[in-house]
Amino acid sequence: MTQNPANPYDTGLDKNAANFVPLSPLGFLARTAAVYPERVAVIHGARQYTWREAQQRCRRLASALARRGIGRGDTVAVMVPNVPEAFEAHFGVPLTGAVLNMLNIRLDADTIAFILQHGAAKVLITDTEFAPVIGRALQQLDDKPFVIDICDPQGPGGERLGAIDYEAFIAAGDPAFEPPPPKDEWDAIALNYTSGTTGNPKGVVYSHRGVYLEVFGNILAWNLKQHPVYLWTLPMFHCNGWCFPWTITALAGTQVCLRRVEAAAIYDAIERHGVTHLCGAPVVVNMLLHARNARLSRSVALMTAGSAPPAAVIGGAEALGFDITHVYGLTEVYGPSTVCAWHDEWDELPAAERARLKARQGVNYAVLDAQMVADPVTLRPVPVDGETMGEVFMRGNIVMKGYLKNPKATEEAFAGGWFHTGDLGVTHPDGYIEIKDRSKDIIISGGENISTIEVEDVLYRHPAVLEAAVVARPDETWGETPCAFVTLKDGGAADAASIIAFCREHLAHFKAPRHVIFGPLPKTSTGKIQKFVLRERAKEGA
């Protein structure tokens, strides 16, 4: 057979300025400001401004940073709650070519100092509310960043640590500043640090390309249309708000800022501003479900992720009027990367069965190439029986660039050509995955694997239980046994014996908790229950 010596599609069809531009979410701002300049972009209490003004403010920030020498490869750290300046940083910082490092506002001074030093932040923009912790962190640094203070009228105030106020800083910037696009779509756009519960946190690096694709993944997974009114209940420091600062901008939506996540404030904002969409961890969903005078006058779309939501919480929230979309992901995959894609025929199922199906994590985002549940050693997929557990693996264009200055951790995370999540799950016959536990949280009792999520799901069905978490407790006979930590509802009555008996009615007896401890549960700022704290308490009790 004669082979074609040259592929005609490889000749004279090269990339050029007319047909190739690096993928980046930064162009969404320019387009939205040009097409919908007078639509409301941001609301914060009584303050609001349009997309024209949003673009001007972001450009002023970029211009002012550039005048201070900030450019490609530099890091700008931001320590703020969900206020307009947090949104502006998502465009203003990368418009200079720099990398945005959103700081978790609940971190301690030592961890913040580590992050500022490890990320080599040249500028720190910080809300004055956090002056005490930021002040202690800065004292630990020999090479301190240039500090800019945000004085939010809705905040509690605080000491000014910086050389200049944010508004004064951007006032000196050029509202017509037009930087060039990124040189390469693989350029870093954001730096997010993991929780670091077992050591120093790792710096997850996002690319312009990855964020651009994640935006469209969010749009497709949530069936988003033009001009959503989005309420900021999810922290913008958490995976860059699951990339929704960029997503809502692409759709010319309105971003309603909420400085503190409180049930009354959320319900008030929904009614006052006509909120159509919001995101939150299951603990936020549970808070809304059990809030005093909880009610909705219309359906509101709520995307939840962060930990496996109990079916009882999903069912209760949907009965209240929230339209739940359940997603799953990690910091290393730009936030959500998996969605429990809904089938219309499931609408006809009983409410309890609908909630059970929706509690599964589901299938890969359209922009994630592949995911699988597999043996962590051989990388062979587990049987699709809904029972055989394995580790969840992912690969595709919304997987991080890697961990900053940590080649060993990066290599381990990508071993075998897949990203290792560390989450354990099963694959159901329909191809939907379901997370059963973190690899570090699984309980092995007498040689049997016990999913803490399965036990927690039963606990949430108890009529007196508001919140629950299950961890391993050392046991001389069985190695370890389940220990339940429970918070009761206001007016709820239950003791340890009745809780254990309830679990035994709905679980194999070896899976039921042997011990129950009552009290509030420690949580991270993103609403995740801190199981490492509970494990220590369980050990002390043993």
415-449 pLDDT, tens digit each: 999 999 999 999 999 999 998 877 777 787 866 66
Question: What is the mean predicted confidence (pLDDT) over 178-197?
Answer: 88
Residue 183: φ, ψ to 5°: -65, -30
Beta carbons of 386 and 446 less than 8 angstroms apart: no
> Residue 196: is its pLDDT beyond 60?
no
Of 246, 244, 306, 307, the closest CA to residue 276 belongs to: 244
Question: What is the mean predicted confidence (pLDDT) over 498-507?
Answer: 92
Residue 186: φ, ψ to 5°: -85, -5
> Residue 256: is its pLDDT beyond 50?
yes
Q: Where are the domains of the chain?
A: 46-207, 281-438, 443-541
Q: What percent of the chain has pLDDT over 90?
A: 77
Report the C-alpha dihedral over residues 310, 315, 321, 325, rounded to 10 degrees: 50
> Residue 327: is its pLDDT beyond 90?
yes
> Residue 197: is its pLDDT beyond 60?
no
Confidence band for 341, pLDDT divided at 50, 70 and 90: very high
Write down the residue that tokens 């303050």 correspond to.
47
- Return the pLDDT at 195: 67
Which CATH number is correct for 281-438, 2.60.40.420, 3.40.50.1460, 3.30.420.40, 3.40.50.12780?
3.40.50.12780
Top pLDDT among 395 and 183 is at 395
> Residue 1: is its pLDDT beyond 70?
no
> Residue 199: is its pLDDT beyond 90?
no
Top pLDDT among 500 and 283 is at 500
Q: Is 252 helix (H, G, I), strand (E, B) or coil?
A: coil
Q: Read off the pTM.
A: 0.86
Q: Is 182 helix (H, G, I), strand (E, B) or coil?
A: coil
Confidence band for 394, pLDDT divided at 50, 70 and 90: very high
Class of CATH domain 46-207 = alpha beta
Protein fold of 443-541: GMP Synthetase; Chain A, domain 3 (3.30.300)
Beta carbons of 413 and 399 less than 8 angstroms apart: no
Give helix 282-289 / helix 311-320 axis angle, nearest 10°: 50
> Residue 541: is its pLDDT beyond 80?
no
- Return the pLDDT at 542: 65
> Residue 469: is its pLDDT beyond 50?
yes
Compute the chain's Rg from CA coordinates: 24
Q: Is 101 helix (H, G, I), strand (E, B) or coil?
A: strand
Cα torsion 135, 528, 248, 278: sign: negative
- Return the pLDDT at 23: 97
DSSP per-residue letters across 135-196? HHHHHT-SSPPEEEEE--TTS------SSEEHHHHHHTS-TT--PPPPS-TTSEEEEEE---
Q: Is 308 helix (H, G, I), strand (E, B) or coil?
A: coil
Q: pLDDT averaged over the chain? A: 93
- Return the pLDDT at 539: 86
Question: What is the mean predicted confidence (pLDDT) over 469-480?
Answer: 85
> Residue 198: is its pLDDT beyond 50?
no
d(CA 366, CA 214): 9
What's the burial of 292, exposed, middle or buried (CB within 10 Å: 0-12/13-18/19+)?
Answer: exposed
Q: What is the 8-class DSSP label of residue 112?
A: H
Confidence band for 529, pLDDT divided at 50, 70 and 90: confident
Give helix 496-506 / helix 452-459 axis angle, nearest 10°: 110
d(CA 365, CA 242): 13
> Residue 134: is its pLDDT beyond 70?
yes
Beta-bridge mates of residue 475: 479
- Return the pLDDT at 494: 94
Do the two domains 46-207 and 281-438 of this chain adopt the same fold? yes
Helix %, strand %, coil % of the chain (to 5): 35, 25, 40
| Cα-to-chain-centroid distance, residue 156 | 26
Residue 222: φ, ψ to 5°: -100, 0
> Residue 475: is its pLDDT beyond 90?
no
